[in-house]
A and B are shown apart, each in its own frame.
Chain A
Amino acid sequence: MAISFDEVEVGTELPAQSFPVDRAALVRYAGASGDFNPIHWNEKFALEVGLPDVIAHGMFTMAEAIRVVTDWTGDPGAVVEYGVRFSRPVVVPNDGVGAVIEVSGKVAKLLEDRRVQVDLVATSGGQKVLGMSRAVVQLG
């Protein structure tokens, strides 16, 4: 059930999603990605380098945010470009709850060849954690 270019217009909103992230998620992501920087799992180290606590990998947040697009299109291969700026860290306390990344997206531009630009907004704790977060998507 692919989205058709003809069904969307500038301003079309994609279904927003919330993604929980806890320390276990960060340890798992470290293993899967190969990014073992201790700021993502070692509280003592994070504090020593001046962070408020352990922070999520920026690439983890980036991976969560694009799901608003890939769940919308169904086909993750429809994403032809994707970029973000890591503007603020997602702080993940070791309190059994962790943090939540909230992501919304909307169609910002209609492009040639039935492609659209989707602008994403990702926040955690009420603060924007990704800047300039946008994807170009090939629709049917």
Chain B
Amino acid sequence: MALDPSFIGRSYPPTEPYQVSREKIREFAIAVRDPNPAYLDPEAAKALGYSDVIAPPTFPVVISMPAADQVIEDPELGLDFSRVVHGDQKFSYARPLRAGDRVRAVLTIDNIKSLAGNDVLTVTAELLEDSGEYLAKATMTLVARAAAADETKGE
């Protein structure tokens, strides 16, 4: 069943602040097997002009995906979350996230389409420092597959 297009443009309240830590950045960098010293060593990050270690480019997903649960689990929207896959992902950055940031996400539904029976949602999470500084934007397409859809597509 197609989703209600009147949800296009809906924004959700800012999430509680996520505290970015050196340890979490290190854990994430090790998990993606990236030993770039800017992620691991505050002195190396300072040599590049940052005040502390910075996060890898895909790190904001740690904040943006849980924020997107607001949409996925919104009972009014009625998405079947067991059928949701990640179709695409984009980030744009005012600056990299860094240790010490307290980050809130503001989620907006940009678009809802129905394609071949699949519900396709485009959702944007704007990431803001608790001080109000704009940090980054994460835009994702979430595909709720129709029951008979090809199960091998997507993430």
Determine the residue in chain A with the shortest Cβ distance to B25.
Answer: A32
> In the complex where A86-B87, A86-B88 touch, is A81 in contact with B93 (Cβ < 8 A)?
yes
Known pairs A59-B89, A75-B38, A86-B86; A29 contacts B32 (CB<8 A): yes
Count A interface residues, CB 8 Å. 40
B43 close to chain A: CB less than 8 A? no
Interface residues of B, dominant DSSP: mixed
Q: Other than the known A66-B58, A86-B87, what 19 A-B pairs have Cβ atoms closer than 8 Å?
A: A25-B31, A28-B31, A29-B31, A31-B31, A32-B30, A33-B28, A33-B61, A34-B66, A62-B89, A63-B32, A63-B34, A77-B95, A79-B93, A81-B93, A82-B90, A83-B88, A83-B89, A85-B88, A86-B86
How far does the Cβ of B77 sit from chain A's closest Cβ, in whole Å? 20
Given A50-B152, A76-B56, A81-B92: A59 touches B38 (CB 8 Å cut-off): no
Docked Cα-Cα span, A7 to B72, in Å, equals 45
- Supposing A66-B58, A89-B155 touch, asked if A83 and B34 sit within 8 A by C-beta, the answer is no
Interface residues on B, range: 35 or more
Please list the 6 inter-chain residue pairs (A to B) with the smallest Cβ-Cβ separation, ordered nearest first.
A50-B151, A83-B90, A58-B155, A32-B31, A63-B32, A85-B88
CB atoms of A19 and B33 under 8 A apart: yes
Contacts of B36 in A (CB 8 A): 70-71, 76
Is B96 on the interface with A (CB-CB < 8 A)?
yes
Task: State which of B28, B31, B54, B58 has its C-beta within 8 Å of the C-beta of A77.
Answer: B54
The verdict on B154 contacting chain A, using a C-beta distance below 8 Å, is yes
